[in-house]
């Protein structure tokens, strides 16, 4: 069965430090991959997506992610974190099987300390 | 780009009453809409898939008689939580797909609190 694993429930980084959020997926074919951010009480905002092509994907707010097929990973990175980046981050797999369903990881809560 | 609007943003209702949540695609025709639920501090789980003009397909464990989904037009799908109970309190969010827009654009979500 398809699944998405985010091994870190929460991560704390200092403002200005680099960030990497891990994501692994299980899927038979090359999936559509996404990262979303959710601020408390808010909806989901799409940070970036990978469908095909260049495995390094640039997103909004200075985020990027790299698709590594051999590792079934799609880790999210940011070189310098800002306090406003504190939020919940969800990695997701999109399955285009008679409708585009999204399977979410459990999420990683990012805390940013001054 | 594709915009999905959801209304209301939050609602409080009494136990036993019904609540209707709307999901609209503003700038494209959505042949398919998806409804997700998120319990506090948990991830989002797909509840059901609705195709315009046909009955919704529910995921395993989701009560179709409790969560009524209507997708009567290409721009509107509604989720009605019938006879709501406190355990239905959750964050409900929709996404829409159609006209080349895959279902990865989400509405802003609805926070339902049943008291």
A79/chain B closest Cα distance in angstroms: 26
Strand, coil or helix: what is B62? coil
What whole-number distance in Å separates Cα of residue A9 and Cα of residue A108? 5
Task: Write out chain B's pLDDT in tens, 115 residues.
Answer: 778 999 999 999 999 999 999 999 998 898 899 999 998 888 899 999 998 888 899 999 999 999 999 998 999 999 999 999 999 999 999 999 887 777 788 899 999 999 9
Size of interface A-B (CB pairs under 8 A): 60
What whole-number distance in Å separates Cα of residue A38 and Cα of residue A24? 19
Give the number of residues written for chain B.
115
| Residues in B touching A34 (Cβ below 8 Å) | 104
Q: What is the pLDDT of residue B102?
A: 73
Q: Identify which of A36, A41, A100 has the shortest CB distance to residue B103.
A: A100
Which residue from B minimizes the CA distance to A107?
B43
Contact B34 A34 (CB under 8 A): no
Q: Identify which of A44, A101, A106 has the shortest CB distance to residue B34.
A: A101
Contact A46 B104 (CB under 8 A): yes
What whole-number distance in Å separates Cα of residue A71 and Cα of residue A38? 26
Q: What is the pLDDT of residue A101?
A: 81
Q: For residue B86, which phi and psi values (nearest 5 degrees)?
A: -55, -30
Q: What is the pLDDT of residue A99?
A: 67
The stretches in chain A having pLDDT less than 70 are 98-99
Q: Report yes or no: B98 and B104 within 8 Å, Cβ to Cβ.
A: no
| Residues in A touching B44 (Cβ below 8 Å) | 44, 90, 102, 104
What whole-number distance in Å separates Cα of residue B61 and Cα of residue B85? 17
What whole-number distance in Å separates Cα of residue B96 and Cα of residue B34? 6
Q: Is the bond preceding B8 in cis, omega lying within 30 degrees of 0?
A: yes
What whole-number distance in Å separates Cα of residue B3 and Cα of residue B18? 27
Q: Does B49 touch chain A (CB under 8 A)?
A: yes
């Amino acid at each position: 069965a398809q699944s998405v694993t985010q091994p870190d429930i929460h991560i704390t980084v200092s403002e200005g430090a680099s960030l990497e959020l891990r994501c692994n997926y299980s899927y038979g074919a090359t999936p559509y991959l996404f990262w979303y951010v959710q601020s408390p009480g808010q909806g989901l905002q799409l940070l970036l997506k990978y469908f095909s092509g260049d495995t390094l994907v640039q997103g909004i707010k200075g985020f990027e992610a790299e698709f590594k097929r051999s590792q079934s990973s799609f880790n999210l990175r940011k070189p310098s974190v800002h306090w406003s980046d504190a939020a919940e981050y969800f990695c997701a797999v999109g399955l285009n099987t008679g409708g585009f369903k999204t399977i979410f990881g459990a999420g990683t809560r990012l805390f940013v300390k001054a | 780009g594709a915009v999905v609007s959801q209304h209301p943003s939050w609602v409080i209702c009494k136990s036993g009453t019904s609540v209707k949540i709307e999901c609209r695609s503003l700038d494209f025709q959505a042949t398919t809409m998806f409804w997700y639920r998120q319990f506090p501090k948990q991830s989002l789980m797909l509840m059901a898939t609705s195709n315009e003009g046909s009955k919704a397909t529910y995921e395993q464990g989701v009560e179709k008689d409790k969560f009524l989904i209507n997708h009567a037009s290409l721009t509107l799908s509604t989720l009605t939580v019938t006879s709501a109970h406190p355990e239905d309190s959750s964050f409900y969010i929709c996404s829409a797909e159609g006209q080349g827009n895959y279902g990865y654009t989400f509405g802003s979500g609805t926070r339902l609190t049943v008291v």
